[in-house]
Amino acid sequence: MIKPHGSEELMPKIVNTEEEKVALLDSAKTMKKMTVNSAAAANLVMLGAGYFTPLEGFMGKNDVISVANNMKLEKGLFWPTPVVNLTNQDLDFKEGEEIALIDPNVEGEQIIAIQKVDKIEKLTEEEINNIVEKIYGTKDKSHPGVQTFYEQGDTLISGDVSVINYSYFEKDFGETFRTAMQIRSSIESKGWKNVVAFQTRNPMHRAHEELCRMAGERVNADGILIHMLLGKLKPGDIPADVRDSAIRTMVDHYFPKDYVMITGYGFDMLYAGPREALLHAVFRQNCGCSYLIVGRDHAGVGDFYGAFDAQDIFDSVPKDALLIKIFKADHTAYSKKLNKVVMMRDVEDHTKDDFVILSGTKVREMLSKGEDLPKEFARPEVAEVLMKHYMKE
């Protein structure tokens, strides 16, 4: 199986035993406490679950600036986006102390992790603007990821962490949330050697379904990992539980048994386009996948990125930066001429009118009115799941 990123084995930061957890929580009673923001809590979940291997905790200022400017840590490890604990709070602790981090997404002031505070550093306005522009390609606050980053504050708290739990993800998505360790173990137990990963924050329509099938066939995959984001999204995106139900319905009806693993991970969407596509590749390499499907406007939002910027960025990173390979996909849609789903680049004789293409706005409008989606666009069983959601709103 493919090795994890920058390491011979996964390096999850989760506390392994109940005994260690109890001891940590006991010592936390005398620690200063800090409620982190949702982005930092999601980073903790990913650190705990092995997805951020080989990171040990939150980055300091030099690493954050190096990652923004050069896509690597100071020591040279490839890394595409900052992993930070940023705040605008007044702090009552100092460098060298251990602090208890409180989860903002769970009631009752639940401690999600213990952090050894290495440094407390201020980012200047100029530094923040540079980081935002390098990561997101824009400083426009109408971009949801940009707005979220600016809102987090200017004080960086770096240091190693010991993660105590996976926030709300295990409870709310018990059937779907999986750590990188669990996914690797499942792949190994199935005897799969060549696995294709599909990243999604949306329900899967017929084009997505066929894209997975095409990628699997073209790289001779043993199986497909459908890996959905379960964390925070921008307003208007379909909730994770609805997506989960829709995807499971599609796989149950239209894929061979035991060919697809449906899993999810606890991260908040960045909408960072090309940089986030690279991060997605790191996640899937750490899961043990050989390929990641990178499609049109992967991890994008609005018109902030070019259609294939997220594919092109992989050509600009050092060849040894990642072990995982990329399956570059074109826009995929149903061809009325051929009566099947195709990649548009494969059918040069087609015009736009030869495809069944619906905008997200049109899809939402039809579903909220109880109108059936074209069977060429969405499987009827999947459309039914989505319609129930929209009719309730």
Reduced to 3 states (helix: H, G, I; strand: E, B; else coil), residue 200 is strand
Question: Would you say the C-alpha torsion 214, 196, 380, 243 has a positive or negative sign?
Answer: negative
Q: What is the pLDDT of residues 173-224, one digit of tens each?
A: 999 999 999 999 999 999 999 999 999 998 899 999 999 999 999 999 999 9
**Structural tokens at position 42:** 């999601």
Q: What is the pLDDT of residues 115-132, one digit of tens each?
A: 999 999 999 999 999 999
Amino acid sitting at position 155? T
- Helix boundaries (H) for the chain: 18-27, 38-48, 61-70, 125-136, 144-151, 169-172, 180-190, 206-218, 240-254, 274-287, 309-312, 360-368, 380-392
- Quote the DSSP letter at residue 45: H
Q: What is the mean pLDDT of the chain?
A: 95
Question: Would you say the C-alpha torsion 337, 338, 343, 346 has a positive or negative sign?
Answer: negative
- pLDDT on residue 393: 62
DSSP string across 213-243: HHHHHHTT-SEEEEEEE-S---TTSPPHHHH
| Percent of residues, the chain, with pLDDT higher than 90 | 85
- Residue 390 CA to residue 378 CA, distance in Å, equals 15
Rg of the chain on CA atoms, in Å: 21
Q: Is-catalytic flag, 202? A: yes
The CA-atom distances, in angstroms, between 352 and each of 126, 140, 344, 349 are 44, 31, 9, 10
Which of these is catalytic: 178, 184, 201, 243?
201
- Quote the DSSP letter at residue 81: S
- pLDDT on residue 236: 79
Amino acid sitting at position 190? K
Amino acid sitting at position 133? E
Asked which of 4-18, 115-129, 185-199, 356-370 is least confident by mean pLDDT, the reply is: 356-370
Q: Is-catalytic flag, 16? A: no
Of the candidates 240, 234, 54, which has an alpha carbon nearest to the alpha carbon of residue 146?
Answer: 234
The pTM of this model reads 0.95
Which of these is catalytic: 130, 194, 202, 248?
202
What domains sit in the chain, N to C, each tagged with a CATH number? 18-167 (3.10.400.10), 174-265+271-392 (3.40.50.620)
Q: What is the pLDDT of residues 284-334, one digit of tens each?
A: 999 999 999 999 899 999 999 999 999 999 999 999 999 999 999 988 888
- pLDDT on residue 246: 94
Q: Is the pLDDT of residue 359 over 80?
A: no
| Percent of residues, the chain, with pLDDT higher than 70 | 100
Of 367 and 175, the one with more pLDDT: 175
